[in-house]
Amino acid sequence: MKNEREKTESFDEQVEGKYLELKDLPIVKDAFLLIDEGLKKKHPEAAERSPDVLAYHGRPHLEDVLHEAVLFALSEGVNDPKELELLAVAVSFHDAGFIKKYDNNEKIGAKLAAEYMKKSGVYSTEDIKRVKQIILSTQVEFEGGFKQLVQNDKDPLCRIIADADVSNFGRTDHLEKGEKVFQELSAVKKIPADNKKTRLMFNKFREKMVRTHKWQTASAKNLRGGQEQHNLQALKSKLSKK
């Protein structure tokens, strides 16, 4: 029992150490700064109300996704430094498109990542092409259910970023994150008002997302699948009381 606990603690320390190391990469810092400043310019009124600007999409989300990506990568046995660096670059730019437009912005993020990678002079053409593909794996479609558009299911990094981006589906902070999404959608006028009707519509949408979502890696399913079912039941319960 003690050995298992020590192994878990050692792995957690490994994840935290690698996360902090990747977060400190110059290109990751550049991406975070780009998004911080870009969101302030894009949403000046929101920037006056909160340093995070958007309630959900911003630096806290990027840091969260990076941490989860490292967790899933190491759990999947992906520990090559170059692989983890490319994953970190993709994560740090995957929402960069929000500084230009709110919807369907993944291609913008991929383009910005390519520009910064070229400017750095340390990434190959193949690296850049791959990072763009990884970023585009965070695209989703909602027709008929929640489907992540993983660009290359043979590339573990494409699958890992997809899982990391929605990891809160299987965490105890899912309801809290959902509230932040609602606040953000209200702020950018995607939801017309905060009332009983819009709350019901939003919760129905969330329930459908979680119910139809599929994990892309065995590690994410193992680590987050159980709590995801609890979250789904909580959403169903919330809807049944309406």
Confidence of residue 23 (pLDDT cuts 50, 70, 90): very high
Q: Quote the radius of gyration of the chain (alpha carbons, Å).
A: 18
Q: Please list, residue by residue across 188-214, b when 16 or more beta carbons sit within 10 angstroms of its beta carbon and e when fewer do.
A: beebeeeeeeeeeebbeebbebbeebe
Instruction: Look up the CATH number of the domain holding residue 161.
Output: 1.10.1300.10
Q: How many residues are listed for the chain in this entry?
A: 242
Do residues 37 and 59 lie in contact, with contact meaning Cβ atoms separated by under 8 Å?
no
Residue 179 structural domain? 2-240
Residue appearing with tokens 């309630």: 55
Give the integer Cα–Cα distance in Å for 233 and 174: 12
Torsion 84-171-150-38 (CA) sign: negative
Contact in structure between 164 and 72 (CB atoms under 8 Å): yes
Beta bridge partners of 141: 147
In whole angstroms, what separates CA 200 from the centre of its chain?
24
Residues 224/171, Cβ–Cβ less than 8 Å: yes
Q: Which two tokens stand for residue 39?
A: 């969101």
pLDDT digits (tens, 9 = 90+) for 133-192: 999 999 999 988 999 999 999 999 999 999 999 999 999 999 999 999 999 999 999 999
* Residue 6 confidence (pLDDT) above 80: no
pLDDT tens sequence across 203-238? 999 999 999 999 999 999 999 999 999 999 999 998
Residue 1 in this model has a pLDDT that exceeds 70: no
pTM of the shown model: 0.95
Percent of the chain past pLDDT 90, that is, above it, reads 91
* Residue 113 to residue 148: CA distance in whole angstroms: 20
11 to each of 18, 70, 76, 115, how far by Cα in Å?
A: 11, 11, 13, 35
Task: Work out how many domains the chain is built from and give that number.
Answer: 1
Helices (H), 76-173: 81-93, 106-120, 125-136, 156-165
